Amino acid sequence: TQYQQHNPAYAYYYRQVIDGDYLCLQYWFFYSFNNWGTSFAGMNDHEGDWEGMMLFFKRDQHGRPQEPPAYITFADHESRQTKPWEDEDVTLMGTHPVGYAAGGSHATYPRAETLSLMRLYSLFDYATGDGRIIDHDDWVYRLNLDDAPWLGQFHGSYGTRFWLNTARARTILQAVLALTPFSALARQIVPNEIELPGVSAPHGPIDPNRPQYAQPVAWAGIHELDAR
């Protein structure tokens, strides 16, 4: 509605996970549309974008989390940046960490900057920090993923998905292999449809391709940092 457009009610989604020696607090942010391509000369546009941040608290011998957090992880595209809590790149507003969402792509970064992702194709993330500021008191809705089965147990995508019909490719491959012992493999090699990456809406937090949901410590590279 017009009222909602001018009076946004911000929401984040969270969950608490005990993973080995750490208590992980996950914060997930949902963006209805990724306009990185059309608005910021990025690689793609798609619906239903999920990004986020995670805090890792070391647990003592009794299993109690120790403050402050030991690490913080920022999710960006298919990767992440994990920083020790005391790292100079970590910005705090009081006791709250600050994340900088890049224009259009919504990838989350620890500091305000323009990041070169692929120089050959002139792809950049503009996490410049000069856009809208959402303070910790501005979050109207804080939704626990574990208490929302319609969200925390949904394996589908959060928007339109696009597929390439492969019938013609299968026909061509069958013709090429017709005179070989492998003619029957055409249907096995080429699926009926191929999902188009980048333009299809991604799946949500619980998707198996997002290991950070159930195995955040391994995904964030915490053990490698602990070993230093």
pLDDT digits (tens, 9 = 90+) for 89-113: 999 999 999 999 998 888 999 999 9
Name which of 70, 104, 27 is nearest 228 in CA terms. Answer: 70
φ, ψ of residue 65 to 5 degrees: the values are -70, 140
Mind listing the pLDDT tens digit for each residue in 124-154? 989 999 988 999 889 999 999 888 877 767 7
pTM of the predicted model, to two decimals?
A: 0.80
Name which of 201, 175, 197, 199 is nearest 186 in CA terms. Answer: 175
Tokens 């003592």 belong to residue: 60
Domain range annotation of the chain: 2-156+204-226, 163-198
Tokens 């920083």 belong to residue: 83
φ, ψ of residue 3 to 5 degrees: the values are -60, -45
C-alpha 79/C-alpha 95 separation (Å) is 26
Question: How confident is the model at residue 36, as a pLDDT?
Answer: 83
Instruction: Write out the two tokens for 138.
Output: 């501005």
C-alpha 203/C-alpha 50 separation (Å) is 8
Mind listing the pLDDT tens digit for each residue in 14-54? 999 999 999 999 999 998 888 888 888 777 787 888 899 99
Instruction: Calculate the CA 136 to chain-centre distance.
Output: 20
Instruction: Write out the two tokens for 90.
Output: 């970590």
